[in-house]
Structure 1
Amino acid sequence: MMKETSKRLSDDWLAIICATIILALSFGSVRLSSTVTVPEDGAAEVSVVNPFLQWIGKPAKWTESPLHAFVTTSESGRRDWSPVFSTLGSFAVLALLLSVSIGLRAGGRSGLQFFTGFIAIFFLATFSYTLAAQSLVKAYNLEYALWALMVGLIISNTVGTPTWIRRAALTEFFIKTGLVLLGAEVLMSRLLALGVPGIFVAWVVTPIVLISTYVFGQKVLKIESRSLNMVISADMSVCGVSAAIAAAAACKAKKEELSLAIGMSLSFTVIMMVVLPIVIKAIGMDDTVAGAWMGGTIDSTGAVAAAGATLGDRALEVAATVKMIQNILIGVSAFGIATYWVTCVEDNDQGTRPGISEVWKRFPRFVLGFIAASIVFSILHSLMVGGPELVDGMIKGTTKTLRGWFFCLAFVSIGLETKFSELAPYLRGGKPLLLYVCGQTLNLILTLVMAYLMFGVLFRDFIR
C-alpha cells in the first residue's frame, strides 16, 4: 500500500512540475513578445503575440480527404502546411518534456523506453483527432475523447497492446498534467460573472446529487464496489472525466472502474448534448435558464459549449460559465472523498480506522496544482495590466491545445489498458448503468429547478 501511495504521489508531483513548466514558458513568452501600452487617460492597449501559436497545434477540420487535416489548400490553390508542422511541434514539445521527466525520475533507460512507446501513442492520438476533425463528425460534436477511447479499445481487445507501447500508456500522469493546465483556464472572474445564481446552480446541486447518488448505489442498488459507486457518482454529478480521475485517485479505484465510468460519461454526454437543445427549443425555455441547466448537467466542457451555441450567444455564455464554476469543485470533491474514504470506509491492518493524517497521504496532490494554477492566473487576469488579453492569448495559443493533447493521450491509454472481459464483472446486473441513469435524472431535475429559481425568478432582472 505504501509503495503504491508513494508512486502515486510521485506521479502527482511530476504532473505539477510538467504543467508548471508549460504554463511558465507559455505565459512568459507571450508577455515578452507582446506589447502593452498604457495611455495617460485610457484603457491599456495590448497587442498580443504568441510565438508558439504556429508551432503548437492539432489536425485541422477536413471534409473529403483526411490529408486535408494536415495540408490545407486555399481558394487560390496555395497549400498551407501549418497543420502538419504544428502537430509535429506538439509532438516534439510533449516527447521532449515527458521523456526527460520520466528519465530523470526512473533512469535514462526508462526515458528512452517511454519515448519509443510514446511515438505510437501520439500517432494513435493524432489519428483520433483526425477522425474527430471530419466536418460531419464535428457537426455532431463527436469529440476526440470518444474516438481516442474507441481506438485504444479496438487495439486492446483484438491484437492486444504490445508491452513496448504499454510502457508509455501513463494514463493517470497524462490526465493529471492536463488537469493542472486546466486550472489556468478556470478563472475566478468567471465565477464573479454570474455571481450568486451561478454559484447556487453549480455548488448547491452538485454535492446534493453526488451524495444522494452514492447513497442510492449503496443502500438501494447495493453495488459491491464502493469505489466504483463513488467514481460514477462524481463523474456524473461534478464535471465528467476530470472529476472521475480526481475521485478515482482519492478512493483508490481500479483502472477498470475508471474506464467504465468514463465510457458511460462520454456516451451520455453525446446523447445529452443532442437531446437537451431539442427539448429546450420544443418547450420554449428561456435561453439564460437553458444555458444554466445545460452547464450544470452536461459533463464535458466542450459539449456544453457546443450545446449552448445551438441556442445562441447568451445561452452559450451562461452554460460555459456555469460549467467553469462547477469545475472548481474538482478539488473540493477530491478532498471530501479522500476524507470520507479514510475516516469512514477503510480500516487499517489492526482493524482500527486510520488517522486524519492519512487524508493528506491519500489526497491527490495534482489537485493542489490545479487550484494553484487557477489562483495565480486569476490574479494575473484581474490585476496585471493587459492581463485578460495576455492570459487569453496564452491559453488559446498554447496551453489549451497541449491540454487537449494530454487528455487525448490519456483516453488512448485508457483504451489500450482496458479489455472488455475485465469490465464484465462491474457490469453484472446492469447496476452501474442504472446508477448513472438514476443519478443523472436526479441531476437534471434538481439543476432545472435551481436554474429556473435563480435565473428565471430571483435574479431574472439582475442578469439581463
Structure 2
Amino acid sequence: MMPTAEPSAPVPEIVPSTPSMRTHEDWWSIYCGAFFLAVAFLAVWMAKPADLAEKISAGETVKVSSPLSRWLAFPGSWTSNPIDAFIKPATEKSPAMNVLPGMLGAFFAIGIVFGIAMQVRRGEGEKFLRAFPVVFLLAALSFVLAGQSLIKAYNLEYALWALLVGLVICNTIGTPDWLRPAVATEFYIKTGLVLLGAEVLMSRLLALGAPGVFVSWVCTPITLIATYIFGQRILKIESRSLNMVISADMSVCGVSAAIATAAACKAKKEELSLAIGLSLIFTVGMMVVMPAIINAVNMDQTLAGAWLGGTIDSTGAVAAAGALVGTQALETATTVKMIQNILIGVIAFGVSVYWVTFVERNPGGQRLGVGEIWKRFPRFIIGFFLASVVFSVLFSTLTGGPELIGAMTKGTTIPLRSWLFCLAFVSIGLETNFRELAPYLKGGKALTLYVVGQTLNLCLTLAMAWLMFRVIFREDLPTP
C-alpha cells in the first residue's frame, strides 16, 4: 500500500515590498532628471561671461546662452516642403541653423541615459536600444506634422500628433513586441516632470501674489472634488480610478496630473489613455475658442490670462492661447498655470491618502496602514519638488541667477522635456487599442464627466479671477 502523501504546505502570500530605489521607475525618473539638470546647469555656469557680476552691477543687459542648445533641438516650422522643418531660419541675431545635430544630440542623450536605466532596472538595456530609434523617429514625425504652417496656425501641437501617430499604428498593424521595451510612457513623462520642476520657480508665485494663488489653489481642488462626487453619485461611474483620473486631468494641469494621479490610485492604462485623449481634444478646442471669446468681449488682459491659465490643461496650450490675446495675458496665463502646476504633488499625495483610507480596504473592512500610502505615493513628485526648490534658490541667490536659469531652461531643459513628452504621447498611442478602450466609453459617462467638470472649472475660475483681479486686488494690478 502506497503511503499517503502529506498535504503540501500552503504557499505564503507575497506582499509587495516598498519599491526598491535601485529598480523602481519613479526613483530612476528622479536619477535621470537630476543628471540632465546637473549637466544643463554646469554647462551654463561654465560658459557664463567672466564679467557677469560687473555687468549686472552696472545695470547692463547680459546675454547668457547654453553651449548645449545647438545639441538639443527638434524640427521647426515649414509650409510646403517638410525638409524646411530641419532648417531653422535666420534672424537678425542668428544665422540659419541645421537642427539635425540637435535632434541627434537629443536622440543620444535620451537613448544612452534611458538605456543605462533600463539595463540596471530590468536587464533590458539592449532591447530598449534596439527599439528606441523607431519610437524616436515617430516622435520626430509628430514634431514635423505639428510644424506645418497651417496646422501650427490652428495650434494643433505635437502632443496631439504624437498620440495620433501611435494610435494609427496600434490599431492597424499593431504594436510589435520588439518595440515595446522602448514604449515607456510613464518613464518618459515622469522624467520630463522632474525637468519641469526646474521651470516652476517660486518667484512665479510671488509675481502674482495672493490673486494668482487663489485662482490656482482654490478653484482646482474644489473642481476636482466636485467632479469626482458628480461622477460617483450622479453618473454612477463604476471605475473610481477612471473617475479620479479624469477629474484630476481636467482640473489640475492635464497629462502631468493624470499620470501622477493614475499612479496614486492604480488606474489602468486604458483609463489613463482615455483621460489624456479627452484632455487633448478639449485643449485644442479651448485654446482656439477661449481667446476668440475674450477678444470679442474685450476682456481685461490680466483677467483673461488668469482665466486661460486656470482652465486650459496644457502649459504649452496656455501660452499659445495667451499669445493670441496679448503680452500681458500671456504672462499672467503662464504664471497662473505654473502656480497651478505646483499642486501636482499635493493632489497626488491627497489621492494616495484618500484611496488607501477610504477606497481600498482589507477584506475585514479595515483601512490600510500608513505604510501603504508611502508605497502608493508617486516618488517622482519628490524630484519635481526638489528641482523646483533648488532652482528657485539658485534663481534668487546667485549673481545673474535669472539669466543663468533662463538660459539653462530655454536652451536645454525645455527642448529635452519636449522630446520626453513627445515620446510619452507616442507611447500612449502605441499602447492604446480602441477595442480595449470601448468599455470605458460605453454610455458616454466619461465624456459627460469631462464636459460637466470643465464647465464648472470655466465658470468657477472666471468668477474667482474676476473677484481677485477686478475687485479685491484691482489697485495692485499691472497695466495691460
Partner of residue 203 from structure 2, selected from 175, 182, 189: 189
Partner of residue 120 from structure 2, selected from 90, 101, 104: 104
Q: Is the 8 A contact 2:270 2:437 kept in 1?
A: yes
Residue 67 of structure 2 corresponds to residue 19 of structure 1: no
Q: Per the alignment, do residues 457 and 134 of structure 1 end up closer, same or farther by CA in structure 2, a change over 3 Å counting?
A: same
Deviations 1:383-405 (A, max 9, x none): 11110000010000011101011
Kindly provide the amino acid, as one letter, of the partner of residue 37 in structure 1.
L
Partner of residue 333 from structure 1, selected from 347, 363, 366: 347
Q: What pairs with 1:41-80 in structure 2 (closer than 5 Å)?
A: 42-43=58-59, 46-71=62-87
Partner of residue 199 from structure 1, selected from 213, 224, 228: 213
Q: Distance in 2 between matches of 1:436 and 1:73?
A: 41
Q: Distance in 1 between matches of 2:382 and 2:294?
A: 38
> How much has 1:49 moved relative to structure 2?
3.2
Kindly provide the amino acid, as one letter, of the partner of residue 60 in structure 1.
G
Q: Distance in 2 between matches of 1:424 and 1:412?
A: 20
Residue 272 of structure 2 corresponds to residue 233 of structure 1: no
Deviations 1:17-76 (A, max 9, x none): 00000000000110011115323954586441311011110012111111111145769x
The 3-state SS of whatever aligns with 1:202 is helix
Residue 53 of structure 2 corresponds to residue 38 of structure 1: yes
Q: Distance in 2 between matches of 1:63 and 1:219?
A: 50
Q: Distance in 1 between matches of 2:60 and 2:18?
A: 48
Partner of residue 427 from structure 1, selected from 441, 448, 462: 441
Kindly provide the amino acid, as one letter, of the partner of residue 391 in structure 1.
I
> How much has 1:346 moved relative to structure 2?
0.2
The 3-state SS of whatever aligns with 1:63 is coil
Partner of residue 86 from structure 1, selected from 88, 95, 102: 102
Partner of residue 353 from structure 1, selected from 367, 379, 396: 367
Q: Per the alignment, do residues 380 and 2 of structure 1 end up closer, same or farther by CA in structure 2, a change over 3 Å counting?
A: farther
> How much has 1:420 moved relative to structure 2?
0.3
Kindly provide the amino acid, as one letter, of the partner of residue 75 in structure 2.
P
Residue 320 of structure 2 corresponds to residue 310 of structure 1: no
Q: What pairs with 1:253-292 in structure 2 (closer than 5 Å)?
A: 253-292=267-306
Number of aligned residues:
459
Partner of residue 6 from structure 1, selected from 19, 25, 29: 19
Deviations 1:175-203 (A, max 9, x none): 10000000000000000000000000000
Q: Is the 8 A contact 1:45 1:386 kept in 2?
A: no
Q: Distance in 2 between matches of 1:72 and 1:374?
A: 31
- Unmatched 5+ residue regions in structure 2? 1-13
> How much has 1:4 moved relative to structure 2?
9.2
Q: Per the alignment, do residues 187 and 153 of structure 1 end up closer, same or farther by CA in structure 2, a change over 3 Å counting?
A: same
> How much has 1:106 moved relative to structure 2?
2.0
> How much has 1:5 moved relative to structure 2?
6.8
The 3-state SS of whatever aligns with 1:39 is helix
> How much has 1:448 moved relative to structure 2?
0.5
Q: Per the alignment, do residues 377 and 350 of structure 1 end up closer, same or farther by CA in structure 2, a change over 3 Å counting?
A: same
Q: Is the 8 A contact 1:5 1:362 kept in 2?
A: no
Q: Distance in 1 between matches of 2:61 and 2:330?
A: 27
The 3-state SS of whatever aligns with 1:115 is helix
Q: Distance in 2 between matches of 1:93 and 1:262?
A: 27
The 3-state SS of whatever aligns with 1:347 is coil
Deviations 1:89-142 (A, max 9, x none): 1101111111111112222xx101001111110010000011001111111110
The 3-state SS of whatever aligns with 1:310 is helix
Q: Distance in 1 between matches of 2:63 and 2:331?
A: 25
> How much has 1:166 moved relative to structure 2?
1.1
Q: Distance in 2 between matches of 1:389 and 1:176?
A: 27
Q: Distance in 2 between matches of 1:417 and 1:165?
A: 11
Kindly provide the amino acid, as one letter, of the partner of residue 279 in structure 1.
I
What residue is the counterpart of 1:396 in the other structure?
410
Q: Distance in 2 between matches of 1:211 and 1:452?
A: 22
Q: Is the 8 A contact 2:53 2:400 kept in 1?
A: no
What residue is the counterpart of 2:189 in the other structure?
175
Kindly provide the amino acid, as one letter, of the partner of residue 54 in structure 2.
P
Give the % identical residues.
61
Taking structure 1 as the reference length, the TM-score comes to: 0.96
- Unmatched 5+ residue regions in structure 1? none
Q: Is the 8 A contact 1:44 1:385 kept in 2?
A: no
Taking structure 2 as the reference length, the TM-score comes to: 0.93
What residue is the counterpart of 2:11 in the other structure?
none
> How much has 1:279 moved relative to structure 2?
1.2
Kindly provide the amino acid, as one letter, of the partner of residue 115 in structure 2.
S
Q: Distance in 1 between matches of 2:301 and 2:415?
A: 29
Q: Is the 8 A contact 2:90 2:97 kept in 1?
A: no
Q: Is the 8 A contact 1:37 1:45 kept in 2?
A: no
Q: Distance in 1 between matches of 2:17 and 2:148?
A: 41
Residue 279 of structure 2 corresponds to residue 244 of structure 1: no
Q: Distance in 1 between matches of 2:356 and 2:469?
A: 38
Kindly provide the amino acid, as one letter, of the partner of residue 404 in structure 1.
S
What residue is the counterpart of 1:457 in the other structure?
471
The 3-state SS of whatever aligns with 2:475 is coil
Q: Distance in 2 between matches of 1:377 and 1:55?
A: 22
Q: What pairs with 1:362-381 in structure 2 (closer than 5 Å)?
A: 362-381=376-395
Q: Distance in 2 between matches of 1:170 and 1:46?
A: 40
The 3-state SS of whatever aligns with 1:6 is coil
> How much has 1:284 moved relative to structure 2?
2.1
Q: Distance in 1 between matches of 2:170 and 2:53?
A: 57
> How much has 1:82 moved relative to structure 2?
2.0
